[in-house]
Structure 1
Amino acid sequence: MTAAQFREHGRAVVDWVADYWERVESLPVLSRVAPGAVRAQLPSSPPEVGEPFAALLDDMDRIIVPGLTHWQHPGFFAYYPTGASGPAALADLLSSGLGVQGMLWQTAPACTELEQHVLDWLAGLIGLPERFTFAGSGGGVVQDSASSAMLVTLLAALHRASDGQVARDGVDRGRYVVYTSTEANCGFEKVVRDTGLGSSAVRFIDTRDDLGMDPKALRTAIEQDVACGRTPALVMATVGTTSTGAVDPVQLIGPVCREYGAWLHVDAAYAGVAAICPELRWIHAGVAEFADSYATNPHKWLLTALDFDACYIADRSALTGALAVLPEYLRNSASESGAVVDYRDWQVPVGRRFRALKLWAVIRWYGAAGLREHIRRSVALAQQFASWVGADDRFEVLAPHPLSLICFRLRGGDESNRALLDAINATGRVFLSHTEVRGKFALRLAIGGTATRQEHVATAWTLLSQCADTLAAPRSIDWPEQVGAASTERFQDSRCRGAH
């Protein structure tokens, strides 16, 4: 592809993305294709002769878009939305066009130093202490996800707990144990398996009434393990759990970790960026005093687009000690001088992309004030939705909701709530996911998408209310069989589908 061809087709791609963003609200949020439908439309073998690029864009419209669940739809309220934005998408294009491999400072000095600088910026914006920056003993690194941040910080914790033995000889199974809340991200157990510790090394700690980890239960679990000769290697506290948005009391967990020498990692994947607003900085209580590592995902709520996790370490020597290898072919004078950072020693892969461009572009385009506005609008919309739920006797809120996630349900049995979830998602207007709160099936509505506004939240509530009416009077319309079964084609003749 020549430069002239790249200009021509590049403009077409930018136009296509812009058109997609403009029309995505008209598409059903949840994909309606059957399993295998996308592959059935693709040729059985690759082309022998190259094709016009326009043919690929045609297939994007014909095959790919109908096979997507649209995460940038303003009615996407499931899981936690991923906030793609124009500045982030354009920065991704710049990164791909540059094609640098930032494994060493020498291989891309600007890639490394911009990442250091932008992550120091973010640390200041969300109120992290200086020891998490390159002005102190630590620093930040871009990982692809919170799970990768968990993995590298657990490796650093094991390195510290074993005085480097784990890096040399591998994990001594049965010796080290780790702790987290029963509400924590399921990725934590996966990470523990990946290190070789195995699931038996995980202690899931009960929660308090507010669904945050119970520090007393943590202390009891650690005392029992120590009495059996085990070493508490790491405790993971969560600021904004995946399931309910719960915030663990880091200020109470931290002293227990310090007493027993356990590394404290704070997983703030969803909620951490909310601390860009001074009035929400309470979520970080205890982080400055006690955390050994911290991670948050700007790709969830800070308009930065997948994939971008900001992972901070208070003592970078523990991380590089666990992960550094130095073959002869990577030796160079800059690295040996000790004056530069080689990010390959801060992550599991050796190679790395120029991801920092995305956050740099987002911060420069929106400014701190614009980012605060985005967070505050999301929180305000969530509180408004919670007030509608709380004022309706048919519904109940099941968990605290200080930020942008509401867990709620119809009063009654789990089956009626499963049917409500199926009905609301079948409308094509919105997409909600579910969880379990204290043994009860609950619907989750998470706000934070780039394009989500008040009218979209109001639409979600209107649809929920009308679908609830329909469920309460099933004989008023011609219901399909097996109301509670999952199907995106269900209720197509009901009042739910035609609510607006």
Structure 2
Amino acid sequence: MNWDDYTRWGEHIARWGGAYHKSLRERPVRAQTRAGDIAAQLPIAPPERPEPMDAIMDDFETIVMPGMTHWQHPRFFAYFPANASPPSMLAEQLVNTVAAQCMLWQTSPAATEVEGVMIDWLRQAMQLPDGFTGVIQDSASSATLSAVLTMRERATGYTGNRDGLAGKGALRIYCSDQVHSSIDRACWVAGIGQDNLVKISTLGPRYGIDPDALDAAIKADIAAGHTPAGIIAITGGTGIGACDTLGPVLTVAKAHDLYTHLDAAWAGSAMICPEFRADFWEDVERFDSIVFNPHKWLGAQFDCSVQFLRDAAPQLNTLKIEPEYLKTTGEAVTNYSEWTIPLGRRFRALKIWFLIRSYGLDGLRTRMRNHVLWAGELCAAIRELDGFEITTEPMFSLFSFRCPGDDAMQQTLVDALNDDGRIYVTQGAFDGQKIIRFQVGQFDTTRDDVMLALDVIQEVWQAINDAS
């Protein structure tokens, strides 16, 4: 392909992309293919000779697209959103075109300096104090792993990287039983181990960690000769939106001199709204590390995760490695590869810059406030359905419910809804039983999209009963 062909096909794909997004409401949300359907249509061996781009695009349309679940569909109510606003997509196209590897300041000064400013724009939007810095990671999983590694190094006097963990005893990390599985995985990868991740029971109505039980667990571990290393709190847990009350957790952490990390991967975006900060983020400025994903609710294209740091030094002391070929001479600069686990870095800050400038903070706030409002309306309507129950009340724009019947029936309804194609939801677990999760957060969803879910649920439920 030469650059004239690139231009022609780039224009073609841009037109295709606009048509695709405008047609999303006409498509089933979840892919309707069976396992193996796509692979069966692909050649077993790679081609020896070049093939024309029009043939490749035709195969993309006929083979790939039927097997895609449409995450940008306005009736995607499963998991959490992985939004892609149009300006952030355009920014990503520019990043892909320039194709820079932004590991050091000198390998792309603009990428480093825009990243620093975007971190500070978001710090201001969330009203974190002056002095907080941060870094853009690929995902909250990477940010959490960075924080857990920092907890490990701090608890071992920054000797774990050098000596390994043999002979250092059991390092303990504390969290609630509502945390995301990425916290478990971080403890695996960090060498701390699943058995040393201590999950504490929660209290209603927000299903936050019990601070008294947390304190008691830490004291018991100290008495047993273990080494407490850190606490991970959550704002907007994945399962049911659980939120820890931050002040009491931080008081326990301070009493035991523990490093703290706040996982706000989904709900953190809503903290650009003052009313949500007042309700859910009191005392947040005392956390050592905070992560949220602009690629979820805010509208930046995946992947884009922001980790704020009250003091960057502990994480730099944990992750910074500087062989001769990576040293930067001259003026003091920031090299963000020293703040993260990967050395290679993409120019992720550009899509935040395009996003915020295109909508303004006020436009982004309006979207999230609408999502919360519409989720509440739908929850109230489902509550009135005969035999249905709301199992967890709306937390921001996430709630859960059950239809009449046992756990198998919950899965039957989830599968039938997703096979119907008009909406996409997922199952979850809470209080020992299966639930149906529903979250509103796709960037272009409307109230009509959300309330259509009520009709779909009623129709599909009636069909299940008619068939039984």
Distance across 2 between alignment mates of 1:470 and 1:217:
47
Q: How does 1:71-110 map to 2 (within 5 A)?
A: 71-110=71-110
8 Å CA contact retained: 1:182, 1:207: yes
Q: What is the Cα deviation at residue 405 of structure 1?
A: 0.6
| Equivalent of residue 248 in structure 1, options 234, 244, 247 | 244
Give the structure-2-normalised TM-score: 0.96
Distance across 2 between alignment mates of 1:158 and 1:82:
31
Q: What is the Cα deviation at residue 454 of structure 1?
A: 1.2
**Does structure 1 residue 416 correspond to structure 2 residue 409?**
yes
8 Å CA contact retained: 2:291, 2:307: yes
Q: Which residue of 2 aligns with 1:26?
A: 26
**Does structure 1 residue 454 correspond to structure 2 residue 447?**
yes
Q: Which residue of 2 aligns with 1:482?
A: none
Q: What is the Cα deviation at residue 42 of structure 1?
A: 1.2
**Does structure 1 residue 330 correspond to structure 2 residue 326?**
yes
Residue 333 of structure 1: SS of its match in structure 2?
coil
Distance across 1 between alignment mates of 2:197 and 2:273:
34
Q: Which residue of 2 aligns with 1:223?
A: 219
Q: Which moved more, 1:405-414 or 1:240-249?
A: 405-414
Residue 178 of structure 1: SS of its match in structure 2?
strand
| Equivalent of residue 150 in structure 1, options 144, 149, 153 | 144
**Does structure 1 residue 386 correspond to structure 2 residue 379?**
yes
* CA offset digits 1:141-199 (Å, max 9, x no partner): 11111110001111122222222111221234643100111110011111110011111
**Does structure 1 residue 284 correspond to structure 2 residue 281?**
yes
> What letter corresponds to residue 263 of structure 2 in structure 1?
D
Distance across 1 between alignment mates of 2:55 and 2:127:
48
* CA offset digits 1:413-451 (Å, max 9, x no partner): 222222221221121111100111111211011111022
Distance across 1 between alignment mates of 2:59 and 2:89:
21
Q: Which residue of 2 aligns with 1:305?
A: 301
Q: Which residue of 2 aligns with 1:495?
A: none
Residue 264 of structure 1: SS of its match in structure 2?
strand
Distance across 1 between alignment mates of 2:365 and 2:105:
33
8 Å CA contact retained: 1:88, 1:358: yes
Q: What is the Cα deviation at residue 219 of structure 1?
A: 0.8
Q: Which runs of 5+ in 2 are unaligned?
A: none
Residue 393 of structure 2: SS of its match in structure 1?
coil
Residue 70 of structure 2: SS of its match in structure 1?
coil
Give the structure-1-normalised TM-score: 0.90
8 Å CA contact retained: 2:402, 2:435: yes
8 Å CA contact retained: 1:77, 1:430: yes
**Does structure 1 residue 425 correspond to structure 2 residue 418?**
yes
Q: Which residue of 2 aligns with 1:373?
A: 366
> What letter corresponds to residue 398 of structure 1 in structure 2?
T
> What letter corresponds to residue 285 of structure 1 in structure 2?
E
8 Å CA contact retained: 1:175, 1:231: yes
8 Å CA contact retained: 2:240, 2:395: no
Q: What is the Cα deviation at residue 376 of structure 1?
A: 0.9
Q: How does 1:153-168 map to 2 (within 5 A)?
A: 153-168=147-162
8 Å CA contact retained: 2:169, 2:227: no
Distance across 2 between alignment mates of 1:444 and 1:381:
15
> What letter corresponds to residue 401 of structure 2 in structure 1?
F
Distance across 1 between alignment mates of 2:104 and 2:13:
32
Q: How does 1:42-81 map to 2 (within 5 A)?
A: 42-81=42-81
**Does structure 1 residue 435 correspond to structure 2 residue 431?**
no
**Does structure 1 residue 197 correspond to structure 2 residue 161?**
no
8 Å CA contact retained: 2:32, 2:419: no
Q: What is the Cα deviation at residue 473 of structure 1?
A: 4.4
Distance across 1 between alignment mates of 2:107 and 2:20:
36
Residue 265 of structure 2: SS of its match in structure 1?
coil
Q: Which moved more, 1:314-323 or 1:413-422?
A: 413-422
**Does structure 1 residue 176 correspond to structure 2 residue 134?**
no
Residue 408 of structure 2: SS of its match in structure 1?
helix
Distance across 2 between alignment mates of 1:206 and 1:446:
24
Q: Which runs of 5+ in 1 are unaligned?
A: 133-138, 476-500
8 Å CA contact retained: 2:74, 2:442: yes
Q: What is the Cα deviation at residue 470 of structure 1?
A: 3.4
Q: Which residue of 2 aligns with 1:497?
A: none
Distance across 1 between alignment mates of 2:92 and 2:386:
47
Distance across 2 between alignment mates of 1:176 and 1:32:
46
Distance across 1 between alignment mates of 2:451 and 2:89:
29
8 Å CA contact retained: 1:174, 1:197: no
* CA offset digits 1:350-389 (Å, max 9, x no partner): 1111111111111111111111111111111111111112
> What letter corresponds to residue 284 of structure 1 in structure 2?
W
8 Å CA contact retained: 1:416, 1:471: no
Distance across 2 between alignment mates of 1:462 and 1:261:
53
* CA offset digits 1:316-353 (Å, max 9, x no partner): 1111111111111122214xx4x211111111111111
Distance across 2 between alignment mates of 1:55 and 1:122:
44
> What letter corresponds to residue 3 of structure 1 in structure 2?
W
Q: Which moved more, 1:41-50 or 1:82-91?
A: 41-50
Q: Which residue of 2 aligns with 1:209?
A: 204
> What letter corresponds to residue 183 of structure 2 in structure 1?
F
RMSD, aligned α-carbons: 1.4
Q: Which residue of 2 aligns with 1:492?
A: none
Q: Which residue of 2 aligns with 1:490?
A: none
| Equivalent of residue 292 in structure 2, options 274, 288, 296 | 296
* CA offset digits 1:291-311 (Å, max 9, x no partner): 010000011101101101101
8 Å CA contact retained: 1:213, 1:249: yes
> What letter corresponds to residue 124 of structure 2 in structure 1?
G
* CA offset digits 1:196-222 (Å, max 9, x no partner): 111111101111122111111111111
> What letter corresponds to residue 71 of structure 2 in structure 1?
W
- The percent identity for this pair of structures is 37
Q: Which moved more, 1:160-169 or 1:348-357?
A: 160-169
Distance across 2 between alignment mates of 1:363 and 1:378:
19
Distance across 2 between alignment mates of 1:57 and 1:140:
40
Q: What is the Cα deviation at residue 49 of structure 1?
A: 2.3
Distance across 2 between alignment mates of 1:201 and 1:445:
32
Distance across 2 between alignment mates of 1:170 and 1:372:
46
